[in-house]
Amino acid sequence: MFAEFGVLNFWTYFFGAVFIVLVPGPNTLFVLKTSVAHGVKKGYLAASGVFVGDAVLMFMAYAGVATLIKTTPVLFSVVRYLGAIYLLYLGGKMLYATFILKGQASDQSGAVPGGAILRRSLVLSLTNPKAILFYVSFFVQFIDVKAAHPGMAFFILASVLELISFGYLTFLIFSGAFVTQYVRTRTRLVKLGNALTGMLFVGFAARLASLQS
């Protein structure tokens, strides 16, 4: 399928992409938390940051920038630590709001502007070295560089990945909004969810900081 456009082993790519999208990560966790706390509209704002970040990283892979980052230890380390620091910041902020500010965080569910949500989501995507490694080591394996127009194959694979991501994030957004109907008035459940999310972000930060190039 799409072989005439320079795509190699499309269905292998498709199922591999589905599996990778379904693996929990900071991006999907942030989208889910946003939809739970702020509803469908802001959930999609968070998802938009993921889509834009992925598109930028895919273009970087196509342009060779991602390969440069992967093969240059210093650049890889810079991106890795920036991502870890940002995840640690987000996780620490959630834990602080949960345990220090106590119930105030749940009372501010509508106070976060859309621009801030989009910016946080975009930064999470762009400072994710695992995504860079994916686009360099997995993504480009399915493009025939000898094809007449390899850019078309790249566009097809990128579009497929974005569609898979859109479907999965849509499921998370509406699931999160649905759950909100039941937990919004249950302060202990809200605090527990925020605490678990904060600890997961801290865990992601630790794992990212220990990632080897």
- 163 located within any domain: yes
Write the burial class of residue 95 (CB in 10 Å: 0-12 exposed, 13-18 middle, 19+ buried): middle
- 4 located within any domain: no
DSSP notation for 44-111: HHHHHHHHHHHHHHHHHHHHTHHHHHHH-HHHHHHHHHHHHHHHHHHHHHHHHHHHTSGGGGGGGTT-
- Cα 29 versus chain centre, distance: 8
Please give the mean pLDDT across all residues of the chain.
78
For residue 87, pLDDT beyond 90: no
**What pTM does this model have?**
0.72
For residue 108, pLDDT beyond 50: no
Q: What is the pLDDT, as a whole number, of residue 168?
A: 93
- 64 located within any domain: yes
Q: How far apart are CA 46 and CA 2, in angstroms?
A: 31
- 5 located within any domain: no
Domains contained in the chain, number: 1
Q: What is the pLDDT, as a whole number, of residue 106?
A: 44
Owner of token pair 């975009």: 122
- 2 located within any domain: no
| pLDDT single digits (tens) 110-133 | 467 788 899 989 988 888 766 776
- 3 located within any domain: no
- 86 located within any domain: yes
- 141 located within any domain: yes
Q: Which residues make beta-bridge pairs with 7?
A: 143
Rg (CA), the chain: 18
**Range of the structural domain that residue 165 is part of:** 10-16+25-209
